[in-house]
Amino acid sequence: DGFIAAPAATPEEAAAAAAALGTAHGAPTAPALDGEFDDAPFEAGEVRGKVVRVVDGDTIWFVRDGATKPMKLRIEGIDAPEICQAFGPEAKRALSSRVLDRDVTARLRAVDDWGRRIGHVYDGDVNIGQRLVRDGFAWSIRYRWDRGPYMADERLAQSFFRGLHAAGGGELPRDFRKRH
């Protein structure tokens, strides 16, 4: 795995990109090609399927085995840069290179306010979210005083200046969203 330096973005470029985004993080993505997403009732547990689209560094479209429509799935435990944020496109490419058009396992845990399933994603026994944090393409998600499940992996990425940490660590997506 190579390291990619984060591109510099001026405040004006970041503001324009955020305005183009039009909605806060977590807003629903564009509809699937056939106009619908998987509307099966949510059930927690493990499912296998194929990743058919990578939306950004922490959200994918996933088609369960035996289903024909994708479900939106947010990878649990991580927060990747917004697509319009410095290092956002690199985070999306990193996730794409690991899961796009691949059969993976998702351990679903919940549904968020926007109807996305939330769960851990595995390629074999590799936890994709943990790998993205360790390689410097996402942060361990924070909630109040909790530093998240992958803080040790984040610290490792910081100490080796991996990915987004190569250019000084970047701005946490939640802080970016508050400003825009």
Out of 53, 64, 98, 116, pick the active-site residue: 116
User: Can you list the positions of beta strands (E) in the chain?
Assistant: 45-54, 59-64, 71-75, 78-79, 103-111, 117-123, 126-127, 139-140
- What distance in Å separates the CA atoms of residue 25 and residue 112, rounded to the nearest whole number? 12
Out of 53, 64, 76, 82, pick the active-site residue: 82
Is residue 74 annotated as part of the catalytic site, yes or no?
Answer: yes
Is residue 131 annotated as part of the catalytic site, yes or no?
Answer: no
Neighbours of 139 (CB within 10 A): 29
Amino acid at 53: R
Q: Which residue has the tokens 């697509």?
A: 83
Pick the closest to residue 132 from 71, 76, 178, 63 (CA basis). 76
Is residue 82 annotated as part of the catalytic site, yes or no?
Answer: yes
Out of 64, 74, 98, 134, pick the active-site residue: 74
Q: Which residues are catalytic?
A: 74, 82, 116
